[in-house]
Amino acid sequence: MDIGRPTSAPEEPEARKPGTRPHRSKRLWIVFATVVVLTAGAFFAIGRLTAVPAPVQVNDAGADAGFARDMQTHHAQAVEMALLIRDKSANPEIRAIAYDIATSQQQQNGQLFAWLQDWGLRQAGTAPPRAWMGADAGAGHTMTPDAGGGMENAGGMAGMASAEQMQALRQASGAEADRLFTDMMIRHHQAGVDMAKAAVRLAETSKVRDFAARIVDAQTAEITALQELRGRL
């Protein structure tokens, strides 16, 4: 998968029939819709304000470049998971959540890709994942491995699903697939929030700090909504 450039967005979710969802489900949908609208506007504004090349040289081994690269990799797997579950789930809430994650994170990856181009830096770095985080690389949310193989891959990217877990999601169906997706995405988002918090503290440019802060807000809200949904599956 091309992790740098956004792909075509999936078709919009089907219209829901009136009276077919409980009040809690409507509340969940409102939370997601609000997050998507607000963060989309914020990321668009950042992109418009920072469309020209950065006036200062960005360190290739620094937090700004490292975050732009690692978050693209992290987002790319979230988009893949979201598209997988949206193609197979019959649950309208799951499909709506998956659509929101796929479209918002593809857009964010486009911005991260453009920044590296503006800075004259390569899309792929030579340092290990999270090296830019320093001591923060070992801090934050602790992933809990499960029978599917753990939530941290051999490359050291916290929150990333293993190859075995991705295959399990591809093969699962029905409620089992919905539960597996929510479990994986909650842990994926938790690690993404940790990475974004590190960028807020360590990035040298204000546009990266602001971008990372908005990821923290958006994905924290999505974690809460996913946990509520998971409890009802």
Can you give the pLDDT at residue 58?
87
pTM above 0.85, yes or no: no
Please give the DSSP secondary-structure letter assigned to residue 158: B
pLDDT for residue 144 is more than 60: no
Is 70 exceeded by the pLDDT of residue 151?
Answer: no
Name the amino acid, one letter, at 173: S
Classify residue 95 by burial, with Cβ atoms within 10 Å: 0-12, 13-18, 19+: buried
Distance between CA atoms of 85 and 79, rounded to whole angstroms? 10
Angle at 186 between CA 104 and CA 105, to 5 degrees: 15
Segment among 29-33, 81-85, 117-121 with least mean pLDDT? 29-33
Q: What is the DSSP letter of 154?
A: T
**Closest Cα to residue 209, out of 200, 219, 218, 201?**
200
Residue 67, number of CB atoms within 10 A of its CB: 28
The Cα 209–Cα 211 span in angstroms is 5
Question: Could you report the per-residue pLDDT of 11-49, keeping only the tens digit for each?
Answer: 555 545 444 455 555 555 555 555 554 555 555 555 544
Structure tokens, 20: 């077919």
Q: What is the mean pLDDT of the chain?
A: 80
| Span 176-189, average pLDDT | 97
Domains of the chain, first to last: 23-230 (1.20.1260.10)
Q: Which residues pair with 214 in a beta bridge?
A: none
Residues near 226 by Cβ (< 8 Å), separated by ≥ 6? 97, 182, 185, 186, 189
Angle at 186 between CA 183 and CA 191, to 5 degrees: 130
Q: What number is the average pLDDT over the span 79-91?
A: 96
> Among residues 7, 110, 5, 130, which one has the least CA distance to residue 65?
130
Residue 85's CB is within 10 A of a number of other CB atoms, namely 25
For the beta carbon of residue 176, count every other beta carbon within 10 angstroms: 13
